[in-house]
Amino acid sequence: MSIIEAFIKTISFFDELKDEGIIEDYALIGGLALSAWVRPRTTRDVDLVVIISKKINWDDLISLIQTRLQKKVSVHKATPRMTIQEKFSFMSGHIQVDIIGTGGFDLATEAIKNGVVAAVFGKNIKVATPEYLILLKLLPLSGQDIIDIKGLAKKADMHKVAKLAEKHFLLPKLESIIQLRKP
């Protein structure tokens, strides 16, 4: 299965969950989301942030992936100091799909609520805006994340990014990468 086929199958599944009211909403983040805003780059995974319905819990969503998609799920254990408290992964073809929950993660909830619909591989999906992608990439801050942030900064409203970074206590990290112009 190609990355495009795996992506379309995964997105179709999450659209079904949304239609059924199992999840409230979701958005694409990470390397594939970049392709909606800047020159695409290769990536090894599909990253989604998900708001689950109040009708289910995180373990229920994991069970749905295991039963409906027949996928083995790898649950990532969080510590109290970690920003991301809910995360699991599964393989779709040769591509890893990372699902990040919004429990205790206000930045991810905002990224979904402020996302915009874009066509990725011919499939319409909500994608985090450049402003929110920058903030989300500040959390792990790998070498690739720094490159991505600098590319996204050309498309983003950097005044808005600075305000959001301050709200989410990420301004020092942002300023360590990008020279912000003071108004």
How far apart CA 4 and CA 6 sit, in angstroms, is 5
Confidence category of residue 68, pLDDT binned at 50, 70, 90: very high
Instruction: Select from 139, 119, 183, 122 the least CA-distant residue to 157.
Output: 183
Q: What is the pTM of this model?
A: 0.93
Q: What is the pLDDT, as a whole number, of residue 182?
A: 55
Amino acid found at 102: T
Q: Measured between alpha carbons, how far is 85 from 83 in angstroms, rounded to an integer?
A: 6
Domains of the chain: residue spans and CATH: 3-128 (3.30.460), 130-183 (no CATH)
- 8 A C-beta contact, residue 53 and residue 22: yes
Residue 81, pLDDT > 90, answer no
Of 33, 38, 42, 29, the C-alpha closest to 144 is: 42
Give tens-digit pLDDT for 82-129. Answer: 888 999 999 998 899 999 999 989 999 999 999 999 988 889 999 999
